[in-house]
């Protein structure tokens, strides 16, 4: 068991960055994304016997991760209906705002932050399936075939969703509804 844990720990190190990226794009909250990633890895380890090698490990893992993220999104939407919505923590915001601009270039940093905020808002406006396939393709580095395996959608349907998501994003980001 300890040997299995050690080997799995190596697997975690291999996939955690990509997993965190996907979870963050879904949840837009670092702490929640962190928890989602942890939960997904623990879940996968607990159910490792049910893994079939038809698909690569990351396909199986990503599917579990996405389901976890979707559950969290649903729970958050429910919470927001009843309570005050959670904003992105100030620490995350500070970290994110420092990206894209040097210390001596506040204008560039501001523009970059605005662009990212617009992008996040536009992705959030995508239809659920479009958002999933788009996130997996562009932030999870998955091919349409892998996305098809993860989501259970037909590969051609995945391609259609990808195209529509890209078209909608372009429209939203360039000021066209």
Partner 1 sequence: MILPGHPYHLQDERLFECYLTERSGELIDPPAAEHLTDCASCSERYADLVRFMESVRTDGESEANAVFTPERLRAQHQQIVRRLEQVGRPARVISFPGRLVRRTITASAGRTAPRWIAAAAAAGLFIGVALGASYEWNPLLHSSRPSVARSADASRPAYLAPVATRGSNQAAVAEDDAFLSDLEVALERPHTRELLAFDAFTPHVREIYDRR
Which of 61, 131, 133, 144 contacts partner 1 by CB under 8 A? 144
130 part of the interface to partner 1, by CB under 8 A: no
Site size toward partner 1, by CB under 8 A: 46
**Nearest approach, Cβ of residue 78 and partner 1 (Å):** 25
Residue 109's Cβ-count burial label (10 Å; 0-12, 13-18, 19+) is: middle
| 59 vs 166, beta carbon nearer partner 1 | 166
Q: How far apart are CA 106 and CA 114, in angstroms?
A: 12
7 part of the interface to partner 1, by CB under 8 A: no
Contact 20, 33 (CB under 8 A): yes
110 part of the interface to partner 1, by CB under 8 A: no
Closest CA to 101 of 115, 119, 85: 115
| 49 vs 85, beta carbon nearer partner 1 | 49
Closest CA to 14 of 47, 56, 52: 56
Which of 78, 79, 108, 170 contacts partner 1 by CB under 8 A? 170
**Nearest approach, Cβ of residue 54 and partner 1 (Å):** 20
Which of 74, 78, 108, 167 contacts partner 1 by CB under 8 A? 167
Contact 127, 95 (CB under 8 A): no
Which of 66, 133, 136, 162 contacts partner 1 by CB under 8 A? 162
Q: How far apart are CA 160 and CA 156, in angstroms?
A: 6
Residue 139's Cβ-count burial label (10 Å; 0-12, 13-18, 19+) is: middle
**Nearest approach, Cβ of residue 127 and partner 1 (Å):** 17
159 part of the interface to partner 1, by CB under 8 A: yes
Touching partner 1, residues 57-96 (CB under 8 A): 92, 95-96
Alpha carbon distances (Å) from 134 to 17, 138, 167: 18, 6, 11
Which of 109, 138, 155, 172 contacts partner 1 by CB under 8 A? 138
């Amino acid at each position: 068991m300890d040997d299995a844990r050690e080997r799995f720990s190596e697997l975690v190190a291999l996939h955690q960055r990509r997993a965190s990226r996907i979870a963050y794009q879904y949840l837009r909250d670092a702490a929640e994304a962190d928890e989602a990633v942890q939960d997904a890895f623990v879940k996968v380890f607990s159910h490792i016997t049910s893994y079939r090698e038809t698909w690569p490990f990351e396909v199986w893992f990503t599917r579990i991760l996405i389901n976890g993220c979707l559950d969290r999104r649903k729970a958050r939407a429910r919470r927001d209906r009843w309570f005050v919505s959670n904003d992105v923590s100030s620490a995350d915001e500070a970290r994110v705002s420092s990206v894209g601009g040097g210390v001596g270039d506040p204008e560039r940093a501001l523009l970059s932050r605005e662009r990212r905020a617009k992008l996040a808002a536009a992705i959030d406006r995508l239809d659920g399936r479009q958002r999933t396939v788009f996130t997996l393709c562009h932030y999870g580095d998955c091919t349409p075939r892998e996305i098809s395996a993860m989501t259970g959608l037909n590969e051609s349907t995945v391609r259609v969703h990808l195209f529509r998501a890209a078209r909608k994003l372009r429209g939203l980001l360039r000021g066209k509804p």
